[in-house]
């Protein structure tokens, strides 16, 4: 799969079947959509393409308004989104930088500059409530009419439901916020996880007996916050049991930076720089601020005991290899 930051250069342009969206958490609804795009591309003899945005348009407008609380929480980082799109068979992804210039494009310029000239679209599928262009002035009807003039077909996106409810990124966010990882898995079609490379941190954890592998979270409003039972992929041939914290570490820092810290049970290897995937299994509690480091250490120890008990109760296959 080829990834383009912005429109492909003239030499890299190819006719395509396209869909447009944020694809935050590539769930079963997205996958059904991508399968339709792939089928259309195959029938036309063109490439399967996705246009997505960074940052999320609602995040951009929230920043412009000075109220980031209005931005949606983020399910996936860009790495995980791109991996999911590749697994779905997408040939090319255009990651469009959503900024003031892009937001100001008129519907007509969006169609001509982006779809026709920039991407050579031959088939396009979007929701029938899709809006585009400055002040969201463009709609599905305008797009369909433009398609007739410029030679591309426009198709309405069907609703994909699970047990009678529409599958959406909002539904996935709600499940994650509630710590309902079983429901999130039903919506996503796979366990919820976050991947990234292990960073060097302050190494405070090792001084209190709980060394951690730290992953940077680029966005400020992740869908998760708190303490979790997890398992870690990428450090051994099998997933390793662990306990993790996702949050801003209010007891030891006040810079607001979000960090995913993972304490892998009985692991003594060097993991710095390694690409790992943290799979979330159960939420233990919300993040808290403690009065001192001693109280924080006691809380971490209690979390570790709870996580080990979870694996014991689940008869986790790795438990016998990593005894408490």
Per-residue pLDDT of the chain (324 residues; tens, 9 = 90+): 999 999 999 999 999 999 999 999 999 999 999 999 999 999 999 999 999 999 999 899 998 888 888 889 999 999 999 999 999 999 999 999 999 999 999 999 999 999 999 999 999 999 878 899 998 999 999 999 999 999 999 999 877 777 777 889 999 999 999 999 999 999 999 999 999 999 986 666 666 678 899 999 988 899 999 999 999 999 999 999 999 999 987 666 666 789 999 999 999 888 999 999 999 999 999 998 887 888 888 999 999 999 999 999 886 554 444 333
- Residue 224 placed within a domain: yes
Backbone angles phi, psi at 226, to 5 degrees: 135, -160
Strand partners, 43: none
Quote the domain boundaries for residue 98.
Answer: 2-166
- Residue 132 placed within a domain: yes
- Residue 19 placed within a domain: yes
Q: Are residues 129 and 77 in the same domain?
A: yes
Q: Are residues 139 and 209 in the same domain?
A: no
pTM over 0.95: no
The pLDDT of residue 202: 66
- Residue 56 placed within a domain: yes
Last-in-domain residue among 123, 151, 166: 166
- Residue 171 placed within a domain: no
Helices 181-188 & 169-177 angle (0-180, nearest 10):
160
The pLDDT of residue 324: 36
Backbone angles phi, psi at 186, to 5 degrees: -65, -40
Q: Are residues 6 and 122 in the same domain?
A: yes
Residue 154, domain CATH: 3.40.50.620
- Residues counted in the chain: 324
> What is the tally of structural domains in the chain?
2
Alpha carbon 39 to its chain centroid, in Å, reads 25
How far is Cα 106 from Cα 6, in angstroms, rounded to an integer?
18
The answer to whether the CB of 246 falls within 8 A of the CB of 226 is yes
Q: Are residues 139 and 235 in the same domain?
A: no
Q: Are residues 220 and 158 in the same domain?
A: no
Q: Are residues 155 and 258 in the same domain?
A: no
Buried b (16+ CB within 10 A) or exposed e, 256-273: eebbbbbbbbebeeebee
Q: Are residues 88 and 217 in the same domain?
A: no
The pLDDT of residue 233: 97
Q: Are residues 235 and 314 in the same domain?
A: yes
Residue 256, domain CATH: 2.40.30.30
The answer to whether the CB of 154 falls within 8 A of the CB of 138 is no
Q: Are residues 89 and 200 in the same domain?
A: no
Q: Are residues 162 and 197 in the same domain?
A: no
Last-in-domain residue among 166, 200, 227: 166
The pLDDT of residue 162: 73
Q: Would you state the structure tokens that stand for residue 263, as one six-digit string?
A: 């304490």
- Residue 60 placed within a domain: yes
All residues at 6 or more sequence positions from 302 whose CB lies less than 8 Å from its CB, including other chains = none
The answer to whether the CB of 193 falls within 8 A of the CB of 277 is yes
- Residue 181 placed within a domain: no
Strand partners, 263: 243
- Residue 247 placed within a domain: yes
Q: Are residues 148 and 60 in the same domain?
A: yes
User: What's the half-sphere exposure (Cβ side, CA atoms, 13 Å) at 304?
Assistant: 19
The pLDDT of residue 204: 65
């Amino acid at each position: 799969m080829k990834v383009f930051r912005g429109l492909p250069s003239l030499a890299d342009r190819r006719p395509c079947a396209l869909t447009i969206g944020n694809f935050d958490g590539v769930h079963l609804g997205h996958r059904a959509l991508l399968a339709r795009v792939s089928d259309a591309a195959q029938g036309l003899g063109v490439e399967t393409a996705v246009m997505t945005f960074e940052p999320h348009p609602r995040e951009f407008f929230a920043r412009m308004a000075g109220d980031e609380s209005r931005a949606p929480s983020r399910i996936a980082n860009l790495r995980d989104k791109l991996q999911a799109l590749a697994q779905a068979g997408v040939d090319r992804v255009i990651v469009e930088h959503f900024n003031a210039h892009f937001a100001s494009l008129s519907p007509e310029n969006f169609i001509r500059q982006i779809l026709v000239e920039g991407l050579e679209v031959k088939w396009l599928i979007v929701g029938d409530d899709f809006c585009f262009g400055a002040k969201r002035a463009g709609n599905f009807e305008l797009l369909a009419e433009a398609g007739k003039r410029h030679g591309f077909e426009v198709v309405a996106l069907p609703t994909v439901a699970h047990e009678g409810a529409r599958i959406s990124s909002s539904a996935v966010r709600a499940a994650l916020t509630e710590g309902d990882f079983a429901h999130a898995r039903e919506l996503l079609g796979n366990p919820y996880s976050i991947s990234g490379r292990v960073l060097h941190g302050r190494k405070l954890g090792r001084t209190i007996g709980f060394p951690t592998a730290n992953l940077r979270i680029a966005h400020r409003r992740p869908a998760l916050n708190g303490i979790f039972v997890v398992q870690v992929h990428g450090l051994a041939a099998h997933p390793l049991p662990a306990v993790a914290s996702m949050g801003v570490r209010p007891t030891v820092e006040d810079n607001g930076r979000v960090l995913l810290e993972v304490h892998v049970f009985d692991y003594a290897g060097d993991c710095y720089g390694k690409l790992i995937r943290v799979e979330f299994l159960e939420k233990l509690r919300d993040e808290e601020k403690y009065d001192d480091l001693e109280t924080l250490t006691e809380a971490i120890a209690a979390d570790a005991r709870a996580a080990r008990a979870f694996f014991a109760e689940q008869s986790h296959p790795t438990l016998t290899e990593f005894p408490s």
